[in-house]
Structure 1
Amino acid sequence: MNLPKPFEEKMRALLKTDYEKYLKCFEEERHYGLRVNTNKISVEEFLKIAPWSLEPIPWIQNGFYYDGDVIQPAKHPYYFAGLYYLQEPSAMTPADRLPVVPGEKVLDLCAAPGGKATELGAKLKGEGLLAANDISASRAKGLLKNLELFGIGNLLVLNEEPGKLSGVFENFFDKILIDAPCSGEGMFRKDKKMIKAWEEHGPAYFSKIQRSIIVQAASMLKPGGMMLYSTCTFDQSENEQVISWLLEQCPEFEICEMEGYEGFSHGIGNGVQAENADLEKTVRIFPHRMKGEGHFLALLKKNGEIPEKEAPGKARAFESRMPVELEEFLQSIKRPFDRTRLEIHGERVYYMPEGIPQKKKLRFLRTGLLLGELKKNRFEPSQALAMYLKREEYPYILNFPCEDERVVKYLKGETLEVSDLVSDTEKGWYLVCVDGYSLGFGKLLNGMLKNKYLPGWRWQSVR
């Protein structure tokens, strides 16, 4: 590993006697991680069906190491069922350490590709609101897919500058996560291309962006709310000094202790300004001290008077008579849908989260759960709805064991012969499941299932 000389000198000064141990970790293999989607399955149930040997990540309750040289979990049907997310172990820490509870309004400000947003959404258990934003339109599309794959419906997916969001969501969110764009020093072992990127845009470039983002995010947090700032870099100018900047600009904030782990290191208590001992409450993750790549985390609280709980807004009356075909489909689902939260835009039907502000001129990729589309005299349910539903919530199920070759055929978009599972007289929309977990919809007629699995998600796309 040929590290840039300025980086070597900085790390030698930072780590002192630990520097040689840090260099030695570059001789080790990177660590591969898998995080269980507790919105769909408990950790205990997942371990009963997991087809591989997994080792617990000791500081993440639903995180596991796997052997990346042997296992290919992105090519398993359980991946397509949204039962887990593949994520570097240290990168699981920020969403894990932000204390989100169901019913809260949560923002992931720099969210793509969705590793942290999917965990925040799982923590909400379908209650409250998850707003997930990314400035890159192409990356935001991948973010939306991962959130829908995880079965998260109470969401807003946005593609905006943080400054534009702050004008709409002032003092709005209970919890905010900022996994800030950074120079990526902590990822040098995992991805050697990060070294060239660091030489082009180093800490001085990113620290200016980070200072702007964190202050804009601060204005969107309610008094009494909590915010977690993280990076995957080691430079103080992107880490502790950004936190010092926030405390100077927004003195209502304080640094909080977070749940510890024996491999965590304290933050360094010397910012640009005077020494601040509270900076030691921040956390550094070094790859030579634990089985994960480099990270920095700071948990912050916004002090001030906590506003009274908002009175629920006046329910919107459905703008027009409910289409019969939509009403019939919703009545078949064993999960309540508040009709006042339904919105129809053109052919598309959405189920909106509660308590969202009026949508001003923001770029949305998704507002709420896309239920499906109204065609001529029929309703076609969406892929997002399929992933949102649990087996027991829909009456018409085709459940295949994982070993059944029809599972992969379905994921490839093929028509399935299913006369062994249903009678020739049965027809209509069926939810296709693998071992009881939803994959998507199909249209049944004469013992054949016409495949409705979303083309952009099909099996070939991971090969």
Structure 2
Amino acid sequence: MGKKSRYQKKKFEKRKGPKKSTGEYGDIVQKNEKFEHYYKTQGILAEDEFDKFVDSLKVVLPTSFRITGSRSHAEELRDLMIKEYFPSMEDFEVDGEKVEVPKPLPWYPDQLAWVSTISRHALRKSAELAKFHRFLVAETEVGNISRQEVVSMIPVELLDVKPNHSVLDMCAAPGSKTAQILEAVHADESEAIPDGLVIANDADQARSYMLVKQAKRLQSPCLMVTNHDAQQFPAIYFTPKDLPEAKTLRFDRVLADVPCSGDGTFRKNKNIWKTWTVGNGNALHRVQLPILLRGCALVKVGGRIVYSTCSFNPMENEAVVAAAISQCGGAFRLVDVSKELPGLIRRPGMTSWKVQHKDGTFYESYENIPEASRHQMVQTLFPPANAAEMNLERCVRVYPHDQNTGGFFVAVLEKVAPYGALDKLEGKGAPISEAEAAATNDATTVADVKDNSIARKRVSEGDSEREAKRIHFEENESKEDGHSKATSSDEAVEPQKKKAAWKGSESPFVFLNRDDPELLAIREYYGLSDKFPKDNFVVRSENDSWKTVYFVSTAVRNIVTAGNSYRLNIVNSGIVTFTRNSAHDGGAGSPFRLSNDGLSTIAPFVSDKCVIQASLADIKVLLPMSYPKFTKFSDEMREIFEKLRKWLQAARF
């Protein structure tokens, strides 16, 4: 969900004193008069329900989780959970505490998201509940279940991702939404390697590595993790920039889940009761707007961008959306999603609001602010003159007391006309906003941002060139449909590795030539189908003796081999498919083992001669021990093993 900015984190760390014996939150009074006064004045809710809203913020948030993976497998796990664990929870009490059976989210598809109000006390006291808890922990560790807050699931569902979509998650860490996006890209189980692409970006390098760990459970060749300030995400060109109609990296879907003040997270972060100030939202507006505008420039015409925060503040929500619509000159419209996610209780977006100065004064327009105080405010905080025409009520507000959730804001925007430098570059005649024209590296900015002390700046062109050096594959590199190609299927190529397609602070990306002898041996040994992409195997070393072979989708490969891919700070991409067997003596068999990480991707393309169909009884023999004796298996399995032994003796690779 919306993240706390690095600026806000530092302020909090400076203020926070040592933990007391009562616990981290034991000394916190759950009341903030400035918070209540501010939102009462804004009129975010009717007066007769405001107290109920505030009281809900003081109650601990329930546990929620999604069942992940392929749809068929997820449904099997869901049915197993209901059948094996829920019956024992019916009419169940622990020390007088009534235990409620977990319930599915009424608006999440196919009952694959659940909420549990079971307390930690009940888990510790009951063996039956502890058994259910162990099930959740075990399935989470292997990636079949993902802990995720309920409201955090909404943006991706409204993003409406399809398997052929290219998607940018601009502020992705810690990665729960990225995982949700990847699941949507892999929703078609008949396609082992979908055409879609997911770029998960985060401004914080350490958090970017958290993304890698989170996404590793899903093992998708369609994922790339990058490290950029979202408002500075670089433009990547598939063809030279000066061509009449250049081809650039554009996205069907963009998620801008931006850093925010986080006052929608009171229920899991009680520190906000003592740290909340109106200044947080006013300041973060200046960071959030450039991020949204950059996403607007990167999305395709006809594409969808979802903007979200875990804040109630209109400065961070409707004000940002309204300013973006205004600056984009009619290129975007708010989508009416009132019919989507039936069962979700949501409130309409605000169409008017006031701006509070740090001295406590509320202003309804920028012109009403005294001249001496204007330098502390920006005009985009206020509703624009044409706010009534923007359909701001189509924004989605989620309040905790409606469905026992956290607080959240979501706006779904559709690009209905060209906007920005990239559209103009591709020959669409799009106007360029003043903010874009002022940006030297194609990143959309706001004039006021340069004066904002919390706006992080980076000259990304210079940084990227220092951190990453682009080396073209070869002088006569072929181009097809505007995408760089290492080889052509109709050409004979010298059996040697290419130079690195990308070099940076991370290991380089070196794509293997389809006629590389070791790669040919791998393909022959495993009987890989001709339908399996031949040019997407990559190693992360320029040395001749590489140990691990990775695989990336064609969409990822096109980005890595793009002419200016050096601008990307790539943290990770690709899944391990083969690893070198150091014990191989050069005789029968292949010196490369098939990796578990890449098994689900490559298995549909492996020859039947390398696939053994085992009975359940034989699988039970395999699971408890590393090297079971042949005599433990069925007659059918022993016969298969004998044929395999003879085949390996005869094979020479």
**Residues 224 and 301, structure 1, Cα contact 8 Å, conserved in 2:** yes
1:234 aligns with 2:262: no
Moved more, 197-206 or 138-147: 197-206
1:35 aligns with 2:66: yes
**Counterpart residue number, 1:291:** 404
Query: Where do 1:143-182 residues align within 5 Å?
Result: 143-168=211-236, 172-182=250-260
Letter of the aligned partner of 1:111 in structure 2? A
Deviation of the 1:57 alpha carbon:
0.4
**Counterpart residue number, 2:106:** 58
1:111 aligns with 2:172: yes
1:17 aligns with 2:57: no
**Residues 578 and 594, structure 2, Cα contact 8 Å, conserved in 1:** yes
**Counterpart residue number, 1:253:** 332
The verdict on how the C-alpha distance between 1:20 and 1:333 changes in structure 2, with shifts beyond 3 A counting, is farther
Letter of the aligned partner of 1:60 in structure 2? Y
Query: Where do 1:176-195 residues align within 5 Å?
Result: 176-195=254-273
1:79 aligns with 2:140: yes
Q: How far, CA to CA, are the matches of 2:144 and 2:256 in structure 1? A: 25
Q: How far, CA to CA, are the matches of 1:132 and 1:249 in structure 2? A: 26
**Residues 265 and 285, structure 1, Cα contact 8 Å, conserved in 2:** yes
Deviation of the 1:29 alpha carbon:
3.4
**Residues 154 and 369, structure 1, Cα contact 8 Å, conserved in 2:** no
**Residues 349 and 373, structure 1, Cα contact 8 Å, conserved in 2:** yes
CA deviation profile, 1:20-54 (whole Å, cap 9, x unmatched)? 11122145431211112243645432222225444
**Counterpart residue number, 2:598:** 385
**Counterpart residue number, 1:95:** 156
Letter of the aligned partner of 2:384 in structure 1? Q
The verdict on how the C-alpha distance between 1:211 and 1:395 changes in structure 2, with shifts beyond 3 A counting, is same
Q: How far, CA to CA, are the matches of 1:205 and 1:73 in structure 2? A: 43
Letter of the aligned partner of 2:332 in structure 1? F
Which of the numbers 329, 351, 369 marks the counterpart of 2:575? 369
**Structure 2 portions without partners, runs of 5+:** 1-28, 87-101, 124-131, 187-192, 238-247, 353-381, 428-479, 488-511, 585-590, 643-653
Deviation of the 1:182 alpha carbon:
0.5
The verdict on how the C-alpha distance between 1:197 and 1:406 changes in structure 2, with shifts beyond 3 A counting, is farther
Q: How far, CA to CA, are the matches of 1:292 and 1:231 in structure 2? A: 14
Deviation of the 1:98 alpha carbon:
0.6
Q: How far, CA to CA, are the matches of 1:330 and 1:298 in structure 2? A: 51
The verdict on how the C-alpha distance between 1:425 and 1:191 changes in structure 2, with shifts beyond 3 A counting, is same
Structure number with greater Rg is: 2
CA deviation profile, 1:239-264 (whole Å, cap 9, x unmatched)? 00000111111121111012154511
Q: How far, CA to CA, are the matches of 1:144 and 1:381 in structure 2? A: 21
CA deviation profile, 1:329-360 (whole Å, cap 9, x unmatched)? 87267895301122223224222222333122
**Counterpart residue number, 1:339:** 534
Greater share of strand: 1
1:267 aligns with 2:349: yes
TM-score normalised per structure 1 = 0.79
Q: How far, CA to CA, are the matches of 1:424 and 1:290 in structure 2? A: 59
Deviation of the 1:119 alpha carbon:
1.0
TM-score normalised per structure 2 = 0.57
The verdict on how the C-alpha distance between 1:395 and 1:301 changes in structure 2, with shifts beyond 3 A counting, is same
Q: How far, CA to CA, are the matches of 1:27 and 1:83 in structure 2? A: 31
> RMSD value over aligned CA atoms?
3.5
Q: Percent identity?
A: 22
Deviation of the 1:190 alpha carbon:
1.7
Letter of the aligned partner of 1:341 in structure 2? N
Q: How far, CA to CA, are the matches of 1:75 and 1:68 in structure 2? A: 13
**Counterpart residue number, 2:285:** 207
1:395 aligns with 2:456: no
2:535 is paired with a residue whose SS is helix
Moved more, 134-143 or 318-327: 318-327
**Structure 1 portions without partners, runs of 5+:** 410-414, 428-463
Which of the numbers 522, 526, 545 marks the counterpart of 1:327? 522
**Counterpart residue number, 1:131:** 199
1:352 aligns with 2:380: no
The verdict on how the C-alpha distance between 1:293 and 1:315 changes in structure 2, with shifts beyond 3 A counting, is same
Count of residues paired in the alignment:
419
The verdict on how the C-alpha distance between 1:350 and 1:218 changes in structure 2, with shifts beyond 3 A counting, is same
1:177 is paired with a residue whose SS is strand
**Residues 370 and 385, structure 1, Cα contact 8 Å, conserved in 2:** yes
Q: How far, CA to CA, are the matches of 2:48 and 2:198 in structure 1? A: 43
Deviation of the 1:396 alpha carbon:
5.8
**Residues 522 and 592, structure 2, Cα contact 8 Å, conserved in 1:** no
Q: How far, CA to CA, are the matches of 1:332 and 1:74 in structure 2? A: 38
The verdict on how the C-alpha distance between 1:231 and 1:369 changes in structure 2, with shifts beyond 3 A counting, is same
